Amino acid sequence: MLFTSYLFIGFVLLTLLLYYSFPKRFQWMILLAASMVFYAYSGWSNLIYIAVTIVSTYFATIQIGKLQNKTEIYIKEHKQELSREERKAYKGTMKKKQRILMVTCLLFNLGILAVMKYTNFTIDNINKIAEMFQKGTISFFDIALPLGISFYTFQTMSYLIDVYRAKHPPENNIFRLALFTSFFPQIIQGPISRFEDLSQTLYGPHDRDRRQIMFGLQRILWGFFKKLVIADRLVIAVNSIINNTDSYDGIYVFLLMILYSIELYADFTGGIDITIGIAQMFGISVRENFERPYFSKSIVEFWRRWHITMGTWFKDYIFYPISVSQPMLKLSKNSRKVLGDALGKRVPVYFATFVTWFATGIWHGASWNFIVWGLLNCLVIIVSQEFTPFYEWFHKHFPYGNTTWYKAFQIMRTFLLMSAIRVLDCYRNVGLTFKMVGTIFTKWNLMDLLQTGWSSLGLTIADYILLFAAVLLVFAVSMLQRSGSVREKIERKGPFAAYMIFLLLFLCILVFGAYGTGYDSNQFIYNQF
Amino acid sequence: MKKLIRIILMILIAVGLFFGVQQLLMPKYKSEILEGSMIAEYYQEDVKDHDVMFISDCEVYENFSPITLWEDYGITSYIRGSAQQLIWQSYYLLEDTLKYEKPKIFVFDVLGMQYGEPQSESYNRMSLDGMRWSSVKINAIKASMLPDEQMITYLFPLLRYHSRWNELTMEDLKYIFVRDTRTFNGYLMQAGVKPVTNVPSGRVLSDYQFDDICYEYLDKMIALCKENDIIPVLVKAPSLYPYWYEEWDKQMTDYANENQLLYINFLDVAEETGIDYTTDTYDMGLHLNVYGAEKLSAYFGKILQDTYGLTDHREDSNYQDIWQEKVDAYYAEKARLIALEEAKQ
């Protein structure tokens, strides 16, 4: 069920109506039922996969919780009799049992994700090697990826690990856990919520708060504006360039870099706006996933502000655990001996960074372009880190760091760098991507683009003007956001003015949206991850 | 109270803006693809009182002239047709028409039997968008939609036509709320001449049997006519193409005999009608031009009058002024089109 389909809009309205019509104690059950209907719409068989993940996570966390309680009670009851060492030993034994449960469940659910998402990728690579040695090939599996599997697997993994880490107790009601796992607005493209955050508001009860519903609706409209007016219009030009590599190289690849970055931003943030807006209408707070990422002055800052919930997930559940693991501490010790303190202490950090970015890349998609994309991000981060002394020296001798121009340069540099790396996402072929990006420097066809090329990309002059105006509006709203909520600012202008602003926004979406006949309505880009 | 007024005002603004924008963006079909505006034109008729109602596709709206029927026999008639109008659309248009009047005779062109399933979204639009809202229109839409079409886009055509924002012309502003008529009681006049040079023979079909759904709707049309004391007449216009197969003709002849209906295949009597395919068609035999339509209408009018004894209204003061106005407009347009054609040569 596409977010941009009439069916989905009707589905949300109906759910909302039921949600606030029934007694409050039933609210979360209505959401669960709606989430199941939403999920089943993608295929009944898909329900099996998510159900298996829910059930396995539920039983593992309940057992972990029982072991934790047992430990606590035992220690409490035998506090006087046990020495400190005995208490520690008992805790260690119990923790080991919990770890076995946690790791088993983790591997089981990761295994489902791996089989579903990476089997054909693995077969493809084996086949390529087999072809090199002129051996036979393996047939691909005919399996369809269950809806949102990457997102709900990660969400349940974080829940499982957090229960193991005793950050919060396990949820005793399997149906409530099922709602956390399958909450329909966020299942297909995130944000990747944490149980301790989402559970605060997910289960209600919620009064019908007109202001919250209006704010949610406004956020949804803004999301639709970005998705339908900008992203789904830009995709026409983006696809034209990607699908005609013979005709569109050189400056067109540079144009692709820029356009795809804008498209991805409008698409993904638009989708998240819709998600957060829907949740808000139900009185539920979902974590923000973006913080004006294109205003970032470095790639590290960019990743703190882009797809925040994914970034923190990898940081909390991959980067930190690896960094402080026993083998890494050992590596740190050894590398300090060999490379000296300064460089040696960075080796385990870089190793953890490498693993994290490799995982980030492959999480985005089962193909080499995503892996290379992740590793290029890793490379840029490590190089930036290594250049830190140089930057410090530079800023000391050339104190322009705080000037507006230098900040603008940093923002532009980060944007271009991220855009260049993202071209891997466009061509989906590592060799072709490097070849095409190379033509930016070897093929000089700017005049071709300016004279006739721009009009051959499937957009009219009116489309370009509209896109320019729409992007300008998004930029202006982002600037306004820096000093607080734009919706609250509009609200302060009075109900009539606010109404007119959002009414015009609604009409703009209806008129200028790239949907319906003549347009190939697109899935959200992040749905595929 | 103040709050209530404010809410009502807000709703009115929203509805007004929505429908204003929708009206602006909907195609007007006034300078090109005139077929798109024809279904809606019927509702602009001041007096909806016709002896004969033609409901079909281009086989009727390009080949029969109600003005000739009036001038020669005093028969009042109207054509409710649009391009590639499917048989179920014709059925629902008949239902729709019966809400306004009860004609004595209903004429249906049997070429409409050739399509057993929806063909094209744009033709659907031309047949359905112009219909006034009622349960009949909803049924017509349901019957006509292609798999990828959605009812909501018919309910709110803005959702379909929004992308016209960059194609708007002065015509869209001019006709935003007011529409004039382009046809003469549903007849779309053409004055060009493009003679028939050869008649392509029909390609061999794997199955000549008309689809069951077409028979179902034909039965429904006949039943509806009987319920309302209307005489149904089946015709096949003398268009040379699309090819009218003997097998099709036999099915229609049998059907007419079984149901005791008048069925006239004008292709069989083309010579008697006086149609000359070197001068009376504007597109090499697909449709007649105004000269051909006048000849065919004169011929058909006589059959209608002789067979059904329709009243001659020419001396009836209730009709005279209305029809004189139509006749004047008809000849003015005919003269304009002829002048245009001459200028082309």
- Tens of pLDDT, residue by residue over A66-84, are 999 999 998 888 888 888 8
The 10s digit of each residue's pLDDT in B15-40 is 999 999 999 999 988 888 888 889 99
Work out the average pLDDT over B231-241.
93
Cα distance between residue B132 and residue B129, in whole Å: 8
Measuring CA to CA, which residue among A375, A383, A373, A382 is closest to residue A422?
A373
DSSP state of A230: I
Q: Give the DSSP letter string of A24-46.
A: GGGHHHHHHHHHHHHHHTT-TTH
Point out the residues of chain A with pLDDT beneath 70.
518, 520-529
* Contact with chain B for residue A425, Cβ under 8 A: no
Phi, psi of B53 (to 5 degrees): -120, 115
Convert the pLDDT of each residue in B295-338 to its tens digit.
999 999 999 999 999 999 999 998 999 999 999 999 999 999 99
The per-residue pLDDT for B174 is 87
CB contact under 8 A, A507 and B6: no
Chain centroid to CA A17: 30
Residue A228 identity (one-letter amino acid)? L
Which among A6, A511, A517 has the least Cβ separation from residue B165?
A511
Chain A window 453-472: which residues touch B at a Cβ cutoff of 8 Å?
A: 460, 462-463, 466
Instruction: Assess B99–A contact: CB distance below 8 Å, yes or no.
Output: no
Interacting residues of B296 by C-beta distance below 8 A, sequence separation 6+: B63, B64, B65, B237, B238, B266, B273, B275, B288
Joined together, the tokens standing for residue A6 give 């009439």
Helices then strands (H, E): number in chain A? 24, 0
Three-class secondary structure assignment of chain B:
CHHHHHHHHHHHHHHHHHHHHHHHHCCCCCCCCHHHHHHHHHHHCCCCCCCEEEEECHHHHCCCCHHHHHHHHCCCEEEEECCCCCHHHHHHHHHHHCCCCCCCEEEEEHHHHHCCCCCCHHHHHHHHCCCCCCHHHHHHHHHHCCCCCCHHHHHCCHHHHHHHHHCCCHHHHHCCCCCCCCCECCECCCCCCCCCCCCCCCCCCCCCCCCHHHHHHHHHHHHHHHHCCCEEEEEECCCCCCCCCHHHHHHHHHHHHHCCCEEEECCCCHHHHCCCCCCCECCCCCCECHHHHHHHHHHHHHHHHHHHCCCCCCCCHHHHHHHHHHHHHHHHHHHHHHHHHHHHC
Tokens of A104: 């088993």
- Tell me the CB-side half-sphere exposure of residue B77, using CA atoms within 13 A: 32
Q: Is residue A150 within 8 Å of A529, Cβ to Cβ?
A: yes
Dist CA A70 CA A440 (whole Å): 64
Residue A460's closest chain B neighbor by CA?
B166
Q: How far is it, in rounded angstroms, from Cα A273 to Cα A281?
A: 12
- Say whether B121 and A517 touch across the interface (CB within 8 A): yes
CB count in 10 Å sphere of residue A32: 21
HSE of B306 in the Cβ direction (CA atoms, 13 Å)?
7
- Encode pLDDT of B258-298 as tens digits: 999 999 999 999 889 999 999 999 998 899 999 999 999 99
Q: What letter does residue A140 receive in the DSSP assignment?
A: P
Kindly report the backbone phi and psi dihedral angles of residue B263, in degrees, each rounded to the nearest multiple of 5, phi listed first: -125, 120
Q: Identify which of A295, A315, A319 has the alpha carbon closest to the alpha carbon of residue A306.
A: A295
As a whole number of angstroms, the distance between CA A269 and CA A257 comes to 18
| Neighbour-count burial of A285, counting CB atoms closer than 10 A to its CB (0-12 exposed, 13-18 middle, 19+ buried) | middle
Residues B165, A499: C-beta atoms closer than 8 Å: no
- CA dist A25 → A21, A204, A210, A352 (Å): 11, 8, 20, 45
Cα–Cα separations (whole angstroms), residue B136 to B42, B47, B87, B96, B116: 16, 22, 14, 6, 20
Please give the pLDDT value at position A529.
Answer: 52
**Residue to substitute from A210, A225, A464, A507, interface B, most B β-carbons within 10 A:** A507
Buried b (16+ CB within 10 A) or exposed e, B31-48: eeebbbbbbbbbeebeee
The residues pairing with B80 across neighbouring beta strands, listed in sequence order, are: B55
Cβ–Cβ < 8 Å for A373, A361: yes
The CATH number that applies at residue B323 is 3.40.50.1110
Which two tokens mark B182?
Answer: 């382009």
CB A122 within 8 A of CB A139: no
CA atoms within 13 A on the CB side of B195: 5
SS3 state of residue A81 = coil
* C-alpha span between A47 and A148 (Å, rounded): 11
Count the Cβ atoms, other than its own, within 10 Å of residue A125: 13
CA–CA separation, B46 vs B185, rounded Å?
11
Q: How many domains does chain B have?
A: 1
Cα–Cα distance between A44 and A274 in angstroms, integer? 25
Burial class from Cβ neighbours inside 10 Å (0-12, 13-18, 19+) for residue A183 reads buried
As to burial, measured by CB atoms within 10 angstroms (0-12 exposed, 13-18 middle, 19+ buried), residue A201 is: middle
Torsion of CA A328, A331, A337, A343, to 10 degrees: -70
DSSP string, A384-396: HHHTHHHHHHHHH
Q: What type of residue sits at position A330?
A: K
Structure token pair of residue B35: 């077929």
Cβ-contact A273, A486 below 8 angstroms = no
CB distance B162–A499 less than 8 Å?
Answer: no
Structural domain containing residue B92: 2-25+34-344
> B25 Cβ partners below 8 Å, 6+ apart?
A511, B158, B161, B162, B164, B165, B168, B172
Which chain A residues are within 8 Å of B162, Cβ to Cβ? 510-513, 515-516
Short-list A412, A416, A346, CA closest to A383: A346
Token digits for B80?
Answer: 């409710």
Instruction: Cis check for the bond before A191: say yes or no (omega within 30 of 0).
Output: yes
In a mutagenesis test of the A interface, which of B23, B121, B123, B163 is the best target, namely the one with the most A β-carbons within 10 Å? B163
> DSSP state, A316?
I
Closest A-chain CA to B7? A496
CA distances from A193 to A17, A183, A361, B21, B280 (A): 25, 10, 20, 40, 74
- Cβ of A507 within 8 Å of Cβ of B21? The answer is yes
- If phi > 0 it is left, if psi is from -120 to 50 it is alpha, else beta; for residue A119 that is alpha
Which residue, among B251, B271, B277, B245, has the nearest Cα to B263 in the 3D structure? B251
Of A175, A174, A182, nearest in space to A146 by CA: A182
Nearest to B75 by CA among B298, B336, B256: B298
Helix axes A232-243, A461-481, angle to 10 degrees: 120
Residues contacting B102, CB < 8 A, separation 6+: B228, B229, B230
Question: Which one of B123, B166, B168 would you mutate to disrupt binding with A, by most A Cβ within 10 Å of its Cβ?
Answer: B166
A515 contacts in B (CB within 8 Å)? 162
Q: What angle do CA A341, A344, A348 make, to 5 degrees?
A: 135
CB contact under 8 A, B153 and A512: no
- Among the listed residues A100, A92, A112, A111, the one whose alpha carbon sits nearest the alpha carbon of residue A60: A100
Which of A502, A511, A515 should we substitute to test contact with B (largest number of B Cβ atoms within 10 Å)?
A511
Closest CA to B344 of B192, B195, B196: B192
Instruction: State the nearest Cα–Cα gap between B164 and chain A, in angstroms.
Output: 8
pLDDT score, position B1: 81
The 10s digit of each residue's pLDDT in B29-82 is: 888 888 888 999 999 988 899 999 999 999 999 999 999 999 999 999 999 999
Q: Which residues pair with B184 in a beta bridge?
A: B187
Pick A499's closest partner by Cβ from B10, B158, B166.
B10
Nearest CA in chain B to A501: B14
Query: Which of chain A's residues have a Cβ under 8 Å away from the Cβ of B163?
Result: 514, 516-519
**Chain A residues whose beta carbon lies within 8 Å of the beta carbon of residue B5:** none
Encoded tokens for A93: 């034994």
3-class DSSP state of A452: coil
